[in-house]
Amino acid sequence: MKQNASSRWALWLATLAFAAVSGGCNSSTTQGAGLTSDKACSDFATAQCNKLEQCEKNGIAARYGDTVTCLSRQKLSCMNGIEAPGTGNTPTTLEACVAALLPDAAVAYDCADYINSNPPVACQAQTGTLANGQACAFNAQCKTAFCAIVKGSNCGLCAEPPKAGDPCSSVTNCGYALVCSGETQLCMKWGASGDSCAKGAGTCAYGLGCAVAANQTTGTCQPWAKLGAACGTKATPPLLCDNSEGLACVKGLCIVASEVHPGQPCGNLTTTGADAGTFALCSAASTCNSPDAGVTGTCAGPAADNQSCDTVADVGCMIPARCVGTATDAGVTGTCQLPTGAACH
């Protein structure tokens, strides 16, 4: 199985809270006492990157490479809603979300909800003016506050928010507190501890991994193994190490992995000698193309904006760009394009 630098996060990027509210920025708008969209989006980007850093030790490194890139890409995602027709979001609603993300917020917003795309009310998309069936790029454009983004496209159609059990084979997003199962291609609630899961389906909730025995395809959601704990075949059940803490399972124990850049060797770097078991995780939204955790691979991707992408070959795009092109059974091949509301009309 290919090792992803951001653990079970192969499909989280399009569904987190920031993606849902990013359609509200308009640099030409000023509200309140000097509140501009530029300032609101800057504040929003800071709050999002701070929350990611709080909830995952290596989250920023794995997804962006560094904090500066996280801030710039998050702000770009927000500002790209500038021409989104019908958006219901405003600088004021963005600042309300920022307040809800702060550590001293009146209602604590924990990491489980953040990682499992279950934002506080203030961070949920406002209702827009577009009716069901109309083209959209952001949730906040729609009267239903949900835009079903089509795989291989930057655009989708306004629709009713999906429910558990609804199909997600042709769209990229399932909505709040739901995940698209890589096994069934149906929207489902995140799996709790002890729930059944399929290897590689990515359905276990925050803090959990799918523990699957050797030669099996299904297992149960179990807490990640921590530093120095038994893992894999030496653990019962065969626990996974906490990638969010930068750990990897080597020789049956969870160790601290190094972080390497796109194009560099990854996975199990050495198999003999004194350094046997050295392990490297990919950073900056790249993916290790190693066939399994015991083999050395190379960090692939992400493609730059407007460059060729191929999610089959693990060359994806950096948030907020999406791989736009031809959808295949295993992914999408095309070019990395930035979503804008104007491009969908």
The Cα 245–Cα 242 span in angstroms is 6
What pLDDT, on a 0 to 100 scale, did the predictor assign at position 23?
34
Can you read off the two tokens belonging to residue 272? 């003999």
Residue with tokens 């429910």: 163
Question: Taking a C-beta distance cutoff of 8 angstroms, is the pair 252, 279 a contact?
Answer: no
Peptide bond into 320 cis (omega under 30): yes
Chain length of the chain: 345
What pLDDT, on a 0 to 100 scale, did the predictor assign at position 4?
35
The Cα 4–Cα 7 span in angstroms is 5
Report, in this order, helix, strand and coil percent for the chain, each rounded to 5.
25, 25, 50
Question: Taking a C-beta distance cutoff of 8 angstroms, is the pair 301, 309 a contact?
Answer: yes
Tens-level pLDDT at each residue, the chain (345 residues): 333 333 333 333 333 333 433 333 333 344 455 789 899 999 999 999 999 999 998 899 999 999 999 999 999 999 887 668 899 989 999 999 999 998 887 777 889 999 898 999 999 988 999 999 999 999 999 999 999 998 899 999 999 999 999 999 888 889 899 999 988 999 999 999 999 999 888 899 999 999 999 888 999 999 999 999 999 889 999 999 998 888 988 888 999 999 999 999 988 886 655 455 688 999 999 988 875 556 788 999 899 999 999 988 889 999 999 999 998 877 899 999 999 888 887
The Cα 345–Cα 340 span in angstroms is 10
Question: Taking a C-beta distance cutoff of 8 angstroms, is the pair 201, 8 a contact?
Answer: no
Residue with tokens 């709050």: 47
What pLDDT, on a 0 to 100 scale, did the predictor assign at position 104?
80
Question: Taking a C-beta distance cutoff of 8 angstroms, is the pair 277, 40 a contact?
Answer: no
What pLDDT, on a 0 to 100 scale, did the predictor assign at position 9?
35
